[in-house]
Amino acid sequence: MSADPNDLARRMDGAIESLNKEFSGLRTGRASTALLENISIEAYGSKMPMNQVGSISVPEPRLLTVQVWDNGLVKDVEKAIQESNLGLNPQTEGNLIRVPIPDLSEERRIDLTKVAAKFGEQARVAVRNVRRDGMDSLKKSEKEGKISKDEQHTLGEDIQKLTDEHIALIDQMLSEKEQEILQV
């Protein structure tokens, strides 16, 4: 536990990066390699991410392709895409898997905005937990006589300002992602 502002900022930035990664896996109407990167495939006796068994590309705005390197894994990759709950229907041609990106229904778009909101709330909670750790550390330092009451108050305000900036960024990212999902 530390009240070091740089450490707290780094940990809050980690929550933002995590949110970015979660958002990249959320499907909008456009094709993105990030959509398939987080899908795991059972290969060689362990779970591996998609980008370690083949190359993912976007040849057209509404099409993804996966060039599977090992012919023995083609069926596993196809099955993993079908079972990913992304509503995708892969088509296999040799060791190339084509994944057309279908239009999203209005109902599916609304469901995806709810998922995005859940990811946003998880990121806010993570940032608040970092703030709480920092504040607890300040109180402890003040109790032990390492810092004065005034220093604790000033540093506490700095931590709160840092928290507010990160929460505002999360809210902005969530708003942009929701607009992207709802855009027809």
Task: Give the span between the Cα atoms of 81 and 78, in whole angstroms.
Answer: 5
Instruction: State in Å, rounded, how far the first CA of the chain is from the last one.
Output: 46
Please name the CATH architecture into which domain 34-100 falls: 2-Layer Sandwich (3.30)
* C-alpha closest to that of 56 among 31, 41, 36: 36
Task: Give the span between the Cα atoms of 52 and 115, in whole angstroms.
Answer: 27
> pLDDT digit string (tens) for 91-136?
999 999 999 887 777 887 888 888 889 999 999 999 999 999 999 9
| Residue ranges, CATH 3.30.1360.40, the chain | 34-100
| Residue ranges, CATH 1.10.132.20, the chain | 5-24+105-182
Amino acid at 135: M
Instruction: Fold for 5-24+105-182, please state it.
Output: Topoisomerase I; Chain A, domain 4 (1.10.132)
> pLDDT digit string (tens) for 38-83?
788 888 888 888 888 999 998 888 888 999 999 989 999 999 888 8
* Residue 7: exposure state from Cβ atoms within 10 A (0-12, 13-18, ≥19): middle
Determine if the pTM surpasses 0.75: no
Please, are residues 39 and 49 in contact by the beta-carbon 8 Å criterion? Answer: yes
